[in-house]
Structure formats: C-alpha cells, structure tokens
C-alpha cells in the first residue's frame, strides 16, 4: 500500500475524483487515501485556499492527486496552483498528448509530451504599477531553473525512448532570457547525441502544430509558453476531458487533470473523469504500480473505442456514472 494525498477540489472535482477512485480500486491499485483540502471549501474551513495543513500532508506523503480548484478572482488570493507548484518546488509540468481511439480529431498518430517550466517566467508574480496607467510584469528566468527543466526534458526523452527534443523560445525579442535558455539547451543537448534536437520559436511551433503535430515529440519551454501549448496540444487529441497531467519536483509530485472546475456543468453529474483517471494512472506508474496503470490506460482505450456511455464532451449522451461503469467493465 502507498499513501497518497487526495484533494478533491471544487466544481466537478469531487465528482471526477469519486469516479476515479472507483476505477482505481477496481484496477487493483494499492493506495491509502489521505484527504487534503484546497480551493473554495478550504477557504470556508481554514481561511486559506491552500492551507499549511495540506502542504504538510503532501510533504509527508510526497505524492498527491488533485482535482481542479477555483481560485477566487479579485479577493486577494494568489492562484492555488501557482502557489502549490512554488511551495513544493514542482518545477516540471508534464502533459503527454497522444491520439486516442474513437475521438474525432483532424489528426491521427499524435504522440508528444509538453514539458513546461513550472516555477518562474511571468508566474513568478512580480507585477507592479510604475505610475497610474503603467504596469510592469516581470518575466523571471534563472540559469538554475533553465538548466533543471532542460536536463529533465532530455533525461525523460532518453528514459522513455523518445526520438526528438524541441526547445521552444522567442529569443528574437528576448535575447537575454531566451538566449540564455537556448545556450544552456545547446550544451545539455551535447550530452544526448542520440536524440534529434532542434530549437524553434513559439510562433513557428504554433503554426506547425496546427499543420502537422506528428512532427513533434518532446517539447520543452518556459512557463507561459508551456501553459498555452499544453492546452493547444490537448485540443489536438480530444480536449480537456481526456488529457492527463503531472507536476513533478525533486521531492514531491502532484498529479492533476488539465481542465478546471467547470462551473457550467458542476453538480450535474455530466463531467468526464477520464483526464483525472489518466493522471491517476501516471501517478500509479510514478509509485511503481505499473500493472494497474496499464490496465487503466487499456480500459480508457477500449471505452473510447466502444463509444458506449460516453459523456457529452466526447459526443455521447451518457454521464459520469455511465462512463465510469464502462471504464470499470473494460478493465
């Protein structure tokens, strides 16, 4: 048994988390669930959307799975997700994006991984008013953070037997920060001569992803570029309801779906649990329960292929209960 912290989150979070837990149990995952709180519910209970108790739990158990959290806007709270990543130094965000059966999308054979630097860039939160009407937002890039995310991407590419790494940048307008990022990438790439390596601007990559996403494999980039590219790539294979994600640091890992709390469908039993379930499968892989992780991935494929009981975002007329029943039956 491995202990993992479970944060259900807000909106559809508790619905997709409950469904995910049912499938995990049926798949034979050996987990002890430790409940943590974050989001709107945590404000009511602890006066903070990300209470210290929750951070302490993750520090103790090291691995967490998290549903989406709503950050109240204009109430003085910093983004929960940005804070979580910063406090636990979860420096790498991973988004594996792979074509799934049964989902109508313009491309087949997409198989790429977006690796995003998770702690710096514009998300360092350094923004101030210089004079009324003039605001400065600073994009922080440090050598250490650039080195560790680039090294992580190349190591991951090697370990997973991938063929190519693309470093995404905008060095033409950011010659100091992105220039440094590229120089570090060049020197790290020298250690991986067996991997194809290229540098491309963010605009170039955006165009090529729309024309032929199969040309890409591992993509690594700074925080804001990664945020945008992750969602764009999710759209290439069926959208937010199916794409998993992970935030990885040296000591801790937090797994979560790409999507938010979906207030428009929350409480209606319509949410698709597949994105969170696949994030849970990544978690199982991470903690060494690979057999259960593979069973879940196979079940997701079979369920999508069969097309029975699917939720509305997948073109079906089912709901969370019906798709969960299919996911369990197909294990």
Shortest distance in whole angstroms from residue 287 CB to ligand NAI: 21
Whole-number Cα distances in Å, 39 to 44, 47, 124, 311: 9, 10, 20, 25
Single residue of 177, 223, 247, 261 touching ligand NAI by CB under 6 A = 261
Q: Among the candidate windows 41-49, 180-188, 194-202, 265-273, which touches ligand NAI by CB under 6 A?
A: 265-273
Active site residue 208: yes
Active site residue 89: no
Q: What one-character DSSP code corresponds to residue 122?
A: G
Single residue of 104, 161, 194, 264 touching ligand NAI by CB under 6 A = 264
Q: Does 259 bind ligand NAI (CB under 6 A)?
A: yes
Active site residue 191: no
Q: Among the candidate windows 92-100, 117-125, 142-150, 255-263, which touches ligand NAI by CB under 6 A?
A: 255-263
Q: φ and ψ at 120, to 5 degrees?
A: -125, -140
Q: Among the candidate windows 40-48, 62-70, 97-105, 298-306, which touches ligand NAI by CB under 6 A?
A: 62-70
- Pattern 294-323, ligand NAI, x by CB under 6 A: -----------------x-x----------
Across 67-103, b (16+ Cβ under 10 Å) vs e yields bbbbbeeeeeeebbbbbbbbebebbbbbbbbbbbebb
Single residue of 41, 244, 260, 318 touching ligand NAI by CB under 6 A = 260
Q: What one-character DSSP code corresponds to residue 36?
A: E
Q: Among the candidate windows 100-108, 164-172, 257-265, 289-297, which touches ligand NAI by CB under 6 A?
A: 257-265
Q: Does 69 bind ligand NAI (CB under 6 A)?
A: yes
CB 292 within 8 A of CB 284: yes
- Helix (H), strand (E), coil (C) string for 196-243: EEEEEEHHHHHHHHHHCHHHCCEEEECHHHHHHHHHHHHHHCCCCCCC
23-52 residues in contact with ligand NAI (CB under 6 A) are: none
164-223 residues in contact with ligand NAI (CB under 6 A) are: none
Q: Does 82 bind ligand NAI (CB under 6 A)?
A: no
Those residues with Cβ within 8 angstroms of residue 236's Cβ, 6 or more apart along the chain or in another chain: 97, 105, 106, 107, 110, 209, 213
Q: Does 117 bind ligand NAI (CB under 6 A)?
A: no
- E strand or H helix at 324: helix 320-329
**Two tokens at 52?**
């210290």
CB 237 within 8 A of CB 103: yes
Active site residue 186: no
Q: Using CB atoms, what's the residue nearest to ligand NAI?
A: 260
Shortest distance in whole angstroms from residue 65 CB to ligand NAI: 12
Distance of alpha carbon 299 from alpha carbon 187, whole angstroms? 41
Nearest by Cα to 204 from 218, 215, 196, 194: 215
Question: Between residues 120 and 313, which has the closer beta carbon with respect to ligand NAI?
Answer: 313
Distance of alpha carbon 61 from alpha carbon 64, whole angstroms? 8
Q: φ and ψ at 27, to 5 degrees?
A: -85, 0
Q: Does 256 bind ligand NAI (CB under 6 A)?
A: yes
Question: If you count DSSP H runs as helices and E runs as strands, how many of each does the chain have, helices first?
Answer: 11, 12
The catalytic position among 10, 178, 227, 313 is: 227
Question: Between residues 190 and 264, which has the closer beta carbon with respect to ligand NAI?
Answer: 264
Show which residues are catalytic.
Answer: 123, 170, 208, 227
Residues binding ligand NAI (CB under 6 A): 12, 16, 68-71, 81, 240-241, 256, 259-265, 271-272, 275, 311, 313
């Amino acid at each position: 048994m491995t202990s993992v912290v479970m944060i259900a989150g807000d909106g559809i979070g508790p619905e997709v988390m409950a469904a995910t837990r049912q499938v995990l149990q049926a798949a034979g995952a050996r987990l002890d669930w430790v409940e943590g709180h974050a989001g709107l519910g945590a404000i009511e209970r602890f006066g903070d959307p990300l209470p210290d108790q929750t951070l302490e739990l993750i520090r103790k158990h090291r691995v967490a799975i998290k549903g989406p959290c709503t950050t109240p806007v204009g109430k003085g709270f910093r983004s929960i997700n940005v804070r979580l990543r910063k406090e636990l130094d979860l420096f790498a965000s991973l988004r594996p994006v792979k074509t799934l059966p049964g989902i109508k999308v313009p491309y087949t054979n997409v198989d790429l991984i977006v690796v995003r630097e998770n702690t710096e860039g514009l998300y360092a939160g350094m923004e101030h008013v210089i004079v009324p009407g003039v605001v400065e937002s600073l994009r922080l890039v440090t050598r250490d953070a650039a080195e560790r995310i680039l090294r992580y991407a190349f190591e991951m590419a090697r370990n997973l037997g991938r063929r190519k790494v693309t470093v995404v940048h905008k060095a033409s307008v950011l010659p100091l920060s992105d220039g440094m990022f590229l120089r570090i990438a060049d020197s790290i790439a020298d250690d991986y001569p067996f991997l194809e390596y290229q540098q491309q601007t963010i605009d170039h990559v955006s165009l090529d992803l729309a024309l032929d996403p199969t040309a890409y494999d591992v993509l690594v980039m700074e925080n804001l570029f990664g945020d945008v590219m992750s969602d764009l790539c999710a759209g290439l294979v069926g959208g937010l309801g199916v794409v998993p994600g992970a935030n990885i640091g040296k000591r801790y890992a937090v797994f979560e779906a790409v999507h938010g709390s979906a207030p428009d469908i929350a409480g209606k039993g319509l949410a698709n649990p597949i994105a969170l379930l696949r994030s849970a499968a990544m978690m199982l892989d991470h903690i060494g329960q690979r057999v259960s992780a593979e069973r879940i991935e196979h079940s997701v494929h079979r369920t999508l292929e069969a097309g029975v009981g699917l939720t509305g975002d997948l073109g079906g007329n089912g709901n969370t209960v019906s798709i969960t029943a299919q996911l369990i039956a197909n294990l």
